[in-house]
Amino acid sequence: MHCSALTRALWLAWVVSAQPPPPSANATVPAPGPTGTSPAPAPVPTEPPSNGSASLEVFTISANNITASFIPYGARLTSLLVPDRSGQQQDIVVGFDDPAQYVANAASNNAYIGPVVGRYANRIKNSTFVLDGVTYHIPSNEFNKTQTVHGGVVGYDQRNWIVTDYTTNSITFALFDRGFENFPGDVINLATYTVNSSWSANNSDFQTQLTTRTVSIALTARTPIMLANHIYWNLNAFKEPNILNNTYLQLPLSSRYIPTDSHLIPTGQIGDVKTALNGTLDFTSPKLVGQDIRSASVCGNNCTGYDTCFIIDRPSNRSDWTSSPETMIQALNMTSTTTGISMVVHTNQKAVQIYSCNTQNGTLPVKPSQVQRNNQQNAGNMTHPVDTVQQYGCLVIEPEGWIDGINNPQWGQLPYQVFGPASAPAVNWATYVFGTV
């Protein structure tokens, strides 16, 4: 991200902050009580999500053999085209051709398809955390309103981000968070996406790359910050009904994971992937996603599949991370035997959440554009084309911090999840490198 983009974003944030918030905006945390706690429960937020026509405008960036499209609503990735082993372009992310469908999905049964989630990704136990002696209550939006997921009722995924920089191969969105969802303090957020390619006429081993980077600056108070990109991947490009027997996954540095209860809240323990569930969670070597999935009872009540936070253990003693390239490390490899598309993920984060689309049941459509692409390429099942997202039909990959680390101080993750005016920004940086096998 260029300095000019940062300057524009900060200027726009100042302009927005100079305007009075809407009368119904839920922009402040209840004042602490005499004992240093906030005894009143969090009010239900009344500020509606941002979903105007401007937030649904499609922006497209490209380089040789890679094209990505976005909308400001949630700073959301809506499509990503990369070549398969035969050189044909495939859209390998779940989404909608019609941007208005993202708003409808968020209003009905929010699946968080392709956005930046925050201010705090994943779950917060009891929708509550304590920071500097003050108890904060965040609006609950999961399991009968007993806990919070992805930032609250109206998280970053439903906000209208502002486009501050847009070139042929890069786009930057900005969001000024005036204490949304009862989180303390104001935060300016930038989300930058960039595509690059090493393609040339004489390079048969070229690679294409998507880079995602969020930068969050706490302006007025210490606050938890953990943004994440919530992208649904299907390297088969929906030529098969699921990814179980054609997609290999490897998490080479993840020999540990965070066990959770029936509501996917961390138990406070740290697990070993080799001994838990007879190695069902062990992806340290490449393994088909479906090889052990029937034994994977790690996705909540009455669920079979993966919805698991895998810890990324770097091989050196250096455990800190910043925006420095030295902290980026290869954390994930994935390949499709159907299309030959491979993806290697590097990140500066300390964990990665893997969700195997366990609850998809065919109600979410595959983009008509990709169904048409499969038909034109005579690929997949021509008699019964895959036109809906089935159970295990995709994989969500979320590079992020240790989930609910703010409620588990014994893990020592607070320095990487709590930020303030005197601290460095919170940076989530990942690269997705695509090739063929």
Q: Would strands 116-117 and 89-91 be described as parallel, antiparallel, or unpaired?
A: unpaired
Q: pLDDT tens across 53-70, in order?
A: 789 999 999 999 999 999
> What distance in Å separates the CA atoms of residue 225 and residue 310, rounded to the nearest whole number?
19
Most confident of 48-57, 203-212, 247-256: 247-256
> What distance in Å separates the CA atoms of residue 220 and residue 222, rounded to the nearest whole number?
7
Mean pLDDT lowest among 51-55, 280-284, 335-339, 401-405: 51-55
What pLDDT does 317 receive?
55
The pLDDT-based confidence of 46 (bands split at 50, 70, 90) is very low
Mean pLDDT lowest among 178-187, 286-295, 378-387, 427-436: 378-387
Residue 12, both tokens: 């726009």
**Which of 47, 181, 398, 400 does the annotation list as catalytic?**
398
Q: pLDDT tens across 20-42, in order?
A: 333 333 333 333 333 333 333 44
Q: pLDDT tens across 138-153, in order?
A: 999 999 999 999 999 9
Whether 398 sits among the annotated catalytic residues: the reply is yes
How many other CB atoms are there within 10 angstroms of residue 295's CB atom? Answer: 13
Judge residue 156's burial from the number of C-beta atoms within 10 Å of its C-beta, 0-12 exposed, 13-18 middle, 19 or more buried.
buried
DSSP 8-state assignment for residue 108 = H
Can you name the CATH fold of 49-436? Answer: Beta-galactosidase; Chain A, domain 5 (2.70.98)
**Which of 137, 230, 240, 400 does the annotation list as catalytic?**
230
The pLDDT-based confidence of 368 (bands split at 50, 70, 90) is very high
| pTM of the shown model | 0.89
What pLDDT does 200 receive?
77
> What distance in Å separates the CA atoms of residue 221 and residue 342, rounded to the nearest whole number?
42
> What distance in Å separates the CA atoms of residue 265 and residue 260, rounded to the nearest whole number?
5
pLDDT more than 70, % of the chain: 84
Whether 230 sits among the annotated catalytic residues: the reply is yes
Cβ pair 431, 380 in contact under 8 A:
no
